[in-house]
Structure 1
Amino acid sequence: MSVQYKVTERINPTDLTLPKKFYARINNGDDVSFDELVDLISKVSNLNYGTVVGAIGTLIEVIEMQLIHGRKVRLSNLGTLFLTLSSQGTDTQEEFRSGNINGARIRFRPGPRLQKLIKKLEYEKVSLASNTTPAA
């Protein structure tokens, strides 16, 4: 199965004076909802819908608790979730206060299985016309 992409013209965000160039962009399909994901998991496993909802809900709660404690959460072949901080720098360590922290982000580093998937991808170009939605 090929990943579909389209070609679009974009500016170079690091130098707006440069001429526009054409780049590949993923041709995203529609989103998979939580309910649809749970339904798919229950169909390919021996778990019923409610069990899958409960397990994923519990997983989310446990991930939150572990991230708050500064732990990396390794999800086997899926990958690793971890927090990073953005902050304003100070000249000395003593000057630094929690007010210098601008915010946090949850980051994801794919595991071996997903990294292997990326290396095996094939690509298929689609026309822009096939990507437009009809007018109402």
Structure 2
Amino acid sequence: MIAIKAMSRLNPQDVTAENKFYAKAISQGVIDFERLAYLVSNQCTVRESDCYAVLRALEHNIMDELKQGKVVQLGGLGNFQVGVSSNGEVLAESVSGNSVKKAHLNFRPGAKLRDMLEIVKFKIIAG
């Protein structure tokens, strides 16, 4: 269940208008690699240390494949891909690596994550 609370926000298009309240999702904590390894090890026959090693190897390989310009598909979770922001050039021939201002990560959720978002429940917490 996702915790939400009411947050007052200004209307940037009309700063004289009264603030309105919007729902904001509130984190209920962070799960790190160690905890994930523990949880996975309790759902299968693999030891926690082996799960941890596999997760670290997965992290390493995802970054390596992204650096090579590949789209990394993680099953029903979704796809990761590197994108770039660049300066506009007058001529196509002028576009080069120097045109790139910065790289960023694009994530496209897969079917399982999209389906989860359709059925997730919310609870209001005092803020």
Give structure 1 stretches of 5+ with no counterpart. 129-136
Amino acid at match of 1:6: K
- Indicate the residue corresponding to 2:74 in structure 1: 75
- 1:15 maps to 2:13: yes
Distance 2:114 2:8 in 1: 28
- 1:96-127 per-residue CA deviation (whole Å, 9 max, x = no partner) reads 23222111112221111111000112222121
Please give the secondary structure, in 2, of the residue aligned with 1:102: strand
- Indicate the residue corresponding to 1:5 in structure 2: 4
Amino acid at match of 2:46: L
Distance 1:103 1:15, change over 3 A: same
Distance 1:92 1:17 in 2: 41
Distance 2:43 2:113 in 1: 19
Amino acid at match of 2:21: F
Normalising by structure 2, report the TM-score: 0.89
Distance 2:29 2:9 in 1: 23
- 1:34 maps to 2:33: yes
Distance 2:95 2:120 in 1: 45
Please give the secondary structure, in 2, of the residue aligned with 1:60: helix
Percent of matched pairs sharing the same residue: 23
Give structure 2 stretches of 5+ with no counterpart. none
Distance 1:16 1:83 in 2: 36
Please give the secondary structure, in 2, of the residue aligned with 1:25: strand
Amino acid at match of 1:52: C
- Write out aligned runs for 1:1-136 (5 A): 2-12=1-11, 14-15=12-13, 17-19=15-17, 20-128=19-127
Distance 1:16 1:38 in 2: 49
Normalising by structure 1, report the TM-score: 0.84
Amino acid at match of 1:48: R
Distance 1:71 1:39, change over 3 A: same
Please give the secondary structure, in 1, of the residue aligned with 2:46: coil
The CA deviation at 1:16 is: 6.5
Please give the secondary structure, in 2, of the residue aligned with 1:22: strand
